[in-house]
Amino acid sequence: MQIENNDLFKRSKQSALQLVFSRVGVILVILLVQVGLLMALFNYVTTNYVHFYYGGSLIVTVIGCIALFNSKSDSSVKLTWMVFFSVLPIIGIFLYFYTRLEFGHRFERRRLVEISKKSKNQIQTDPMIFEEMKTLNDSKDLQGLHHFVNKIETFPIYKNSQVTYYPLGEDKFSDLLIELKKAEKFIFMEYFIVGKGHMWGSVLEILIEKAKAGVEVRFMYDGFCEFSLLPRSYSKELEEFGIQCKVFSPIQPFVSTVYNFRDHRKICVIDGHTAFTGGVNLADEYINEIERFGHWKDTAVKIKGKAAESFTLMFLKMWAFDSKDLDFEPWLSIAAQAPEAPVEEEGYVMPYADSPLDDERVGEMVYFDLLNKAKEYVYIMSPYLILDGEMETALTFAAKRGVDVKIILPHIPDKKYAFALAKSHYKTLIQAGVEIYEYTPGFVHAKVFVVDGYKATVGTINLDYRSFYHHFECGVYLEGVQEIKKMEADFLGTMALSQRITLEDVRKEKKFTKILGWTMKIFAPLM
C-alpha cells in the first residue's frame, strides 16, 4: 500500500453531520431503537397486565435483594442497585440479572482461565532475589504484595532493571521514537486511544519501516477508539503495511454488557528488553501538540532489562484472547536473553496487570497496600476521584493516623460530570486531613503514587470505578528505585503550580455542581 508521509500526520476531522451519518451514528441509532423497543414492551406489560406487574415486582424485588446482598459487590455498588430496585423494580432487577449473567463475557472468562493456566510460571522471580529479600526487613511489605498478586497471575520481582520516569508525555514520546528505531526482533504495542496526528504519525512511520525490515510488529487498540476516532477499516490499513493489528472488543450494533470491559492499558515492548507504560496514549493532546483542557500533565515510565519480560507476557496474553496460538515461548525466550541494566541500579521492580474478568481488584489492592503501609506521606496524581467506600476509607484512615496524604487533580476537567463527582468527595477527605490540589494550568492524566520516598507505582489505573472494576489495566510497582526521588520532585513541582482546595472553597462551590455530584454519586458504580 502506497502512502504519502504527510498522510500519516493528518489529524482526524469529523463534523457533526459526518458523525450522524457515520458508522458511529448508525450504531447509536440501532442501539436507541433496541432500547425503545424494550421500553415499549415494558409499557405494554404495565398497561395491560397491571396486577401481574405489581405482584411480580414484589416477588422479583425480594429475589433480587437476596441475590444482591449475597454477592461479592462493593457496598457502594449494592446501594446503587438498591436505588434502581426501589425506583424501577422490574427494569432494575432485569438489568441486574442481565449484568450478572454476563452475556458475551462467559467465553472471555473461560479464555482467560485457559491462557492463565498456560502462562502460569512461564516467567518467575529469580530465587536469589527471594533469598536476598529474606535478609531485609524493609522488603517484608513487598514480599506480601508479591504473594497476593501471584495468587492471581505470575508477576515476578526483578532487580537490576533500569527505570526511567517521564514527567510529561512529550518526554516519553521523544524517547519512545529513539527506542522504536533500535528494534531488531519485535515491537508489541497495546493502547487505549490512538488518534491521527503528529504523535501517532511519527510512531507509525517507524513501525512501517521496521515491518519492511522484517521486524515482527503487532499493534492492538481498544474498540472504543475505533468507534470514535478511527475508521472501521483502519486495522486492515495497518495490515497492508505489514503490521499485524487487532481491535479489542469492537463495538457492534446490539445491546450487550460486553462493552463495559475495555482495554485501558498502554504498553509498548521492544525486543523483550525495553518496555513503556503509564498514562500516555498515542494522540497529540498527550504530548501538548494540540491543546485540550489546558496544559496536559501526564507521566510514564520506561523499563529496561529483565523486568520488560513481564510486559511481553502481558501483551501476548491479551493478544491471545481471540487466537488459538498460546505458544508464548519464542517471544519469552527473546525476552529472557535481554541484557540486565547496570548492576549499580538499586531497588526492586514488579510489573503487574489487572483484569475485570477474575473478580480480583489488583490495581485497587496495590493502592490499598501503599496507603495502609505508608508511614510518613503518600503523594497521588489522578485525573479522576470517583471512589468506592473502601478507597475513601483507606484515604481518610491514612490521613487520620498522621500520614501526609496529598492528591493532585485537574483544574480543567475533560468530563464535567466526573469533575462534579470528584468534588462530592472533597469535604469528607479534607475534614479527615487529606490535602487536595487542582492543577491550575490544565488537566492531569497521570496515575502515580509515591510513598515515603521509597515506594511508588506508575501505570494506567485511575482512582475510579472503571479502572478498579471494569477495565484491563497495568502498572509497575517500584521499591527502593532511584527514580522515585525524581517522581517525588515532579509531584512537588506540580503541586507548586496547583491550587490547594479548602473547606471554604467546597462551601462556595456552585450549587449546580454540588447537586450534579451528589446525584451522579448514586450512579457512579455503574458508570
pLDDT for 173 equals 98
pTM: 0.86
Section 87-113 average pLDDT: 68
69-78, 137-146, 259-268, 450-459: which has the minimum mean pLDDT? 69-78
Supply the Cα-derived Rg of the chain in whole angstroms.
Answer: 24
Question: Is 80 exceeded by the pLDDT of residue 454?
Answer: yes
> What are the pLDDT digits (tens) for 412-444?
999 898 899 999 999 999 999 999 999 999 999
Q: What is the pLDDT of residues 119-142, one digit of tens each?
A: 777 888 888 888 888 777 666 788
How sure is the predictor about 248, in pLDDT bands with cuts at 50, 70 and 90? Answer: confident
Which residues partner with 304 through β-bridges? 162, 274
Least confident of 24-38, 244-258, 394-408: 24-38
Least confident among 38-47, 139-148, 270-279, 415-424? 38-47
Given this model, what pLDDT does residue 359 score? 76
Q: Which residue has the cell 509498548?
A: 268
pLDDT at 452: 96
Residues 6+ apart with CB under 8 A from 419: 410, 413, 513
CATH of domain 362-526: 3.30.870.10
Q: Which has the minimum average pLDDT: 22-26, 189-193, 370-374, 447-451?
A: 22-26
The predicted structure's pLDDT at residue 514? 84
**Model pLDDT, residue 100:** 66
Q: Quick check: 31 pLDDT over 60? A: no
Average pLDDT, integer, range 313-326: 84
Per-residue pLDDT averaged across 249-254, rounded? 62
Closest by CA to 387, choosing from 457, 333, 463, is 463
CA dist 373 → 139, 301, 397 (Å): 12, 23, 11
pLDDT for 62: 73
User: What is the average per-residue pLDDT within 381-396?
Assistant: 94
Which one is predicted more confidently, 331 or 268?
268
- Assess whether pLDDT exceeds 70 at residue 333: yes
Q: Examine domains 127-133+156-346 and 362-526 and report if their fold is the same.
A: yes
Quick one: pLDDT band at residue 448, thresholds 50, 70, 90?
very high
Cell of 515: 447537586
| Residue 342: band (very low, low, confident or very high) from pLDDT cuts 50, 70, 90 | low
The pLDDT of 263-267, averaged and rounded, is 95
The average confidence (pLDDT) of the chain is 84
User: pLDDT (tens digit, 9 = 90+) per residue, 152-189?
Assistant: 888 999 988 899 999 999 999 999 999 999 999 999 99
Could you tell me the residue ranges of all domains in the chain? 16-101, 127-133+156-346, 362-526
> Which fold would CATH assign to domain 127-133+156-346?
Endonuclease; Chain A (3.30.870)
Work out the average pLDDT over 232-239: 89
Q: Give per-residue pLDDT as tens, 7-29.
A: 666 665 544 444 444 444 554 55
The whole-angstrom separation of Cα 475 and Cα 279 is 10
- Does the pLDDT of residue 50 top 60, yes or no? no
**How much is the average pLDDT of 283-304?**
96
| Pairing of the two strands 186-191 and 216-222 | parallel
Helix, strand, coil content of the chain in percent (nearest 5): 50, 20, 30
CA distances for 393 relative to 44, 345, 398, 403, 428, angstroms? 45, 36, 8, 14, 10
Q: What is the mean pLDDT of residues 38-58?
A: 60
Q: What is the reported pLDDT for 236?
A: 92
